A and B are shown apart, each in its own frame.
Chain A
Amino acid sequence: MAQIELIHVSKTYGPTKHGRNAEPAVCDLSYVIEDGHFVSLLGPSGCGKSTTLNMIAGLEDISSGTILIDSHRVDDLDPDKRDLAFVFQDYALYPHMSVYENIAFGLRMRKVPKSEIETRVTDAARRLEIEQTLQSKPKKLSGGQRQRVALARAIARRPSVFLFDEPLSNLDALLRDQTRSELKLLHRELGATSVYVTHDQEEAMTLSDRIAVMSRGRLEQFGTPYEVYHEPATEFVASFVGKPRMNLFTVTKAEIGRYGLPGTTFTIDIGDIGMDQVRVGLRPEECDLHPADDGAPGHGVVKAVEPLGNVSDVLVTVGDQIFMSRVPGFGNYTVGDHVNINVTRARIHCFDQKSGTRVDH
């Protein structure tokens, strides 16, 4: 079992072709991944998730900072000395070896006795239901099966840390959901510390004990899925986590405690935060719509309705902003309706206009 600690970890890849020093791919990461936790690194493509994971694995050097596993510095340890297993995005199966050999390779390299190897390989194969494919070459397997072989290879090693780099991104949607559930069960069964890289906020939310949200190489927030969703630390987290995307717009102080969207009648009650302007975030599913009184212009005009069956997303033009509200069922709005927006139910998130950090109110 293992606890992983990142202390001011940064990574700069070598100078670019033009001789200039590259921007750091990862900058000043500090957080603790508790023993047995399932932690997701979440962020858009290119934000440094894989780089972080590779540094934990020892596949990339750390430019500055330190990584501790169980309070031991591992900066100079080779990957195989860190007692971890890695599941790669493209699975990285050895093409010339059978499935059995793929799973057994890491054990052979560690001089595990033959009988023990056999037990562990069969056990891993049984867990992932790939016993029939043990003699096949990876080329002959489907994407889903290869994925399972990659997982089996990791499990058979029985490491204290699992690292996953977008392991589900090459699967089709149905298989992805199914494998996601299985991963969660697997983690509960094995209980090993897991670090999971993904750009899919839904994956991160469903799987994780903690989520580390990253953007442009920096940590935006490290917290539970609840915290990340309901108390986003920055505007970036607010906009990245949650589907449909949070409504975000700038409001201006109108009267004491109330802020309004310029050019509209829409106002919200934030309280006194001592700022003239502030960024405000409202989750679409927490905002209700009401038809405006006959003849009244209301807050805005319905621009589009997107029914999803159980709910519908209604897009409303408010001034020069597009505001989204998620209403139950099919809703009874048509394009052109004048509507009022009711936010009494909603948590109002405020962010500093310049820094994007959360403002409590």
Chain B
Amino acid sequence: MTSAAPSISMLYQPRLARRKACNVVFYVTGAAVCAMTVALLATLIGVVLKDGWTFLTVRFVTSFPSRIEPELAGVKPALFGSLCVVLMTGVISVPLGVGAAVYLSEYAGDSRLNRFIQLNIANLAGVPSIVYGLLGLAVFVRWLHLGSSILAGSLTMSLLVLPVIIISAREAIAAVPQSLRQAAYALGATRWQTVRAHVLPSALPGILTGVILSLSRAVGEAAPLLIVGAAAFMLSMPGSQAGGGAWNKLVAIGTDNFAVLPIQIFNWCKEPDVVFQQLAAAGIVVLLAALLAMNSVAVGIRLWHQRKRTW
């Protein structure tokens, strides 16, 4: 414009070169950190693959562990136990956790009590897992007489993962725009109709992320299940003695003793012989594969949900 323009522009000191340099520094740092993480993971996987390679056969996941003949040992009962525990933990904790999150964010008002409860839930998420093991031992194993069973283990694990599921589901629900709820309420929808048709579907990806993260943690945890009394190793499948119908079988599985992968791996690691180290490495690969499968299921659900939403 006129003579005023240069003097005003004097007030701005863009220091463009400096800002761009900062940008490059962050870019390089970020890339380096990322590369380190990937390298670390690759090393870990490489090492366990190398160690466990000789055992990574179909036979490994279909045989029982054996002290006397370690060359023929396998993870069948431990894998089965882990899958049962994670499945049952999911069945117990997801409805409870999502339900609690819906209640806290949609039904309970912003009261002092509500905030107090949420603070406590956040605290529970930080409690060491072994404490949950002790609680599970006292309440489920002894008081409810469930014994050292898959059911008791799953209930204990549910306590462990519930806080994380509630917190992440609450965050996901809170991120659903208010305008969406208002649109539904303005059409004469009840709270539940609004939650069911709009809030939960919009929050589903976020809820799934929390569920998968916490169930992955449940698969990898050994400490609480050790306390609850999971077996060091099983020489038969849980519930294999039961006869009769499918329901009897299911009850027998749920109330029988069990082994899980992390404890099995831990026990092999303790053995001095190198063959047991190889068994442990192979067990770790199986555990990682199980985690990968769980994550794939979550991605699958998300994709299916997105496709469904467009029509």
The answer to whether A and B assemble together is no
Residues of B within 8 A of A (CB): none
Residues of A within 8 A of B (CB): none
